[in-house]
Amino acid sequence: MTTKASFFGNVWENLFDFGRPDSRGQRIFRRVFEAFIGAGSIWLAWYWGEYTLRISDIVLELGFARYIDISFMHGNQLPIWNAWAITALVVLGFLRIDRWVPFGRWAYMLATLLLMLQYAARFVLGEIPHSSNLVGMGIMGFALAELIFRDRTEGGRFAIGFSYFFIGLGYTSAALSKLVARGLTWPDGRHLWLWVNEKAVDEMARSGSVELNFVQQLAVDHWWIATAFLAFGLLTEACAWLVWFRKPRYLVMWGVMALHMGIWVTMDILFALSVYEILLLGLPWAAFIDRLFPEKTSLS
Amino acid sequence: MSGKTLSNKARTTMWSVIFVYALTVAVNLGEFWPFSIYPMFSQAGNPWSRSVVREVPPGDTLSWDTTALADIPGQPYGVRSGGVDPIDLANFVSKTKEWDQDRVEALQLMLLADPPKDPLRLMVYRVRARLTETDSVAITATPYVLVGTDLAPDESHLNPELR
């Protein structure tokens, strides 16, 4: 009988690859993924920071704003200074400043905390977005790896495994939330009709006009097609925890990618940063690099 | 460092993060970025509320009556031109419990942070939708507040039912 402990022991072994032979492809991929997470964090810091300049009132507190009066970030240039600080810390973290500066390994962790502050200052108007959560967990993974693992190879492996784990947990949690709220009737196609109209109104507000695309029209015209879209989405999310295991990982990641493409065409919502991250984690890039540029081995 | 030591460190770190994750979402209504229970789209079939904005010429007679979305007066106005996220606008309108001068000012700042040279008046509508018994989607729009480059942001430009 499989015990709970051995199940998670198997999960950790599948996620982190400790002790497995390293390769040029893996080294390059780890740095590319780290660069993506760093660049994504910097982009969020500036995107949120510049938007925060136009906020003068608080409708709903999220994150740190539930515990501190976040209004000190409004009506001044602090969000921009914070964006500069996050940029500097991420760049310094990527350049491994601990070689020259004491406590340099804290750079990513400080960047993570300041990014959480930037989020709390930006999202006070009622919107609760989830498009940035994967990048947020990604930078947290690298922050923990820097603090806990002295060896950068093992630290990088931990950070990537950390991202896979919370991708699996996040999407599975999304499926559970839907089942808890609506039960097995969640995929009823009429629910998609409401969302298609909701997003059409968003587009009308954004650009002044709107026209349904072919797929949206198909879903609105045929209940069973709308139901099939939602059923596929729910099933994909419910299986997302399988990314914790090597064998089904890429298949599940492509299922999640298809889910995002479906959300894009039916509801006009593109979680761009999440999609890029899934694209990076959803293909065996390290093996591709190793095949294209094999390392020279010497026979002794 | 041996593989076993590394695994132990990773396992301890992961369980610690999972514990903090669970604790923070449990005491913060499911959200503490970047931790979340990801409840988006879970409330399937529920009525929703959004916002749209129409440009209103200064001379036009204003009506505060609720109408079908297709019948709202004025010219289409996209909030993207002012750099505004429509979901922020929708949440601002739907989640405001008490409309006072501060809220009207904040809405004016949001929509007219970079005012054009010509006078501009914008009517902000709250749009609501629900599934009907005949399996169609009914959408209505209620004018909420009028803001403009030539208007003082005060409560006199609110729908009388909100004052």
What is the tens place of the pLDDT at every residue in A130-153? 999 999 999 999 999 999 998 889
Residue of higher predicted confidence among A100 and B37: B37
Distance from CA of B80 to the nearest CA of A (A): 5
Q: What is the pLDDT of residue A300?
A: 47
Taking Cα atoms as reference points, which of A192, A52, A225, A204 lies closest to residue A123?
A52
Who among B6, B31, B110 is closest to A18 (CB)?
B6
Q: Is the peptide bond before B34 cis (omega within 30 degrees of 0)?
A: yes
How confident is the model at residue A92, as a pLDDT? 94
Nearest residue on chain B to A5, alpha-carbon basis? B11
Distance CA A85, CA A92 (A): 10
B-chain residue closest to A148, CA distance: B9
- Asked if the Cβ–Cβ distance from A194 to B48 is below 8 Å, we say yes
**Alpha-carbon distance B64 to nearest alpha carbon in chain A (angstroms):** 19
Residue A201 has pLDDT above 50, yes or no: yes
Structure tokens at A192: 């998609």
d(CA B140, CA B156): 23
Give the pLDDT of residue A294. 84
Q: How far is B65 from chain A (nearest CA, A)?
A: 19
* Minimum-distance CB partner of A194 among B69, B89, B131: B131
Judge: B45–A18 Cβ closer than 8 Å, yes or no.
no
Handedness of CA A161, A162, A163, A168 (dihedral sign): positive
In this predicted structure, what is the pLDDT of residue B1?
63
Are residues A182 and B43, on separate chains, in Cβ contact within 8 Å?
yes
Q: Which of B33, B37, B48 sits opposite A198 (nearest CB)?
A: B48
The pLDDT assigned to A280 comes to 97
B37–A62: do the CB atoms touch at under 8 Å? no
Q: A205 and B7 in contact by Cβ < 8 A?
A: no
Instruction: Tell me the pLDDT tens digit for each residue of A39-70.
Output: 999 999 999 999 999 888 898 899 999 999 99
CA distance B74 to B69: 12
Inspect the interface and report whether the beta carbons of B109 and A140 lie closer than 8 Å. Answer: no
| Average of per-residue pLDDT values in chain A | 92
Contact B76 A193 (CB under 8 A): no
**Minimal CA separation from A299 to chain B, in Å:** 26
Residue A299 pLDDT grade (very low, low, confident, very high; cuts 50, 70, 90): low
* Residue A287 in this model has a pLDDT that exceeds 90: yes
- Chain A contact probe: residue of B14, B33, B42, B91 with most A CBs at under 10 A: B33
A104 or A190, higher pLDDT:
A190
Beta-carbon contacts of B157 under 8 Å, excluding residues fewer than 6 positions away, are B104, B145, B146, B147, B151
Per domain, the residue ranges of chain A are 23-148, 178-295
Q: Which DSSP letter does residue B32 get?
A: E
- B-chain residues within 8 Å CB-CB of A134? 34
Please indicate whether, in this complex, the C-beta atoms of B37 and A144 are within 8 angstroms of each other: no
Q: What is the DSSP letter of A125?
A: S
Q: What is the pLDDT of residues A212-228, one digit of tens each?
A: 999 999 999 999 999 99
Which chain A residues have a beta carbon less than 8 Å from that of B131? 190, 193-194
Percentage of chain A exceeding pLDDT 90 = 80
Report chain B residues whose CB lies below 8 A from the CB of A201.
50, 52, 69, 127, 129, 139
Averaged pLDDT for residues A157-186: 96
Residue A204 to chain B, least CA–CA distance (Å) = 7
pLDDT digits (tens, 9 = 90+) for A172-192: 999 999 999 999 999 999 999
> Smallest CA–CA separation between A119 and chain B, in Å?
8
Pick from B14, B57, B50: nearest CA to B137: B50
Burial of A216 (0-12, 13-18, 19+ CB in 10 A): buried
pTM of the model: 0.87
* Percentage above 70 pLDDT, chain A: 97
Q: Which of B141, B137, B143, B147 is closest to B79 using CA atoms? A: B147
Ramachandran assignment for B38, one of left (phi > 0), alpha (psi -120 to 50 degrees), beta (any other): left
Nearest neighbour of A207 by CB, restricted to B78, B95, B113: B78
Chain A residues whose beta carbon lies within 8 Å of the beta carbon of residue B14:
12, 162, 165
**Smallest CA–CA separation between B2 and chain A, in Å?**
8
Mean pLDDT split into 10-residue runs, chain B, 163 residues: 80 96 95 95 92 88 89 90 88 89 88 81 95 91 92 83 84
Question: Where does chain A have alpha helices with state H?
Answer: 4-16, 24-52, 78-94, 107-122, 133-148, 152-182, 189-207, 214-221, 223-238, 246-267, 272-281, 285-292
Is the Cβ pair A144, B10 closer than 8 Å? no
pLDDT(A236) > 60:
yes
C-beta atoms of A136 and B103 within 8 A: no
- Which bin fits B32, alpha (ψ -120 to 50), beta or left (φ > 0)? beta
Contact between A201 and A189 under an 8 Å Cβ cutoff? The reply is: no
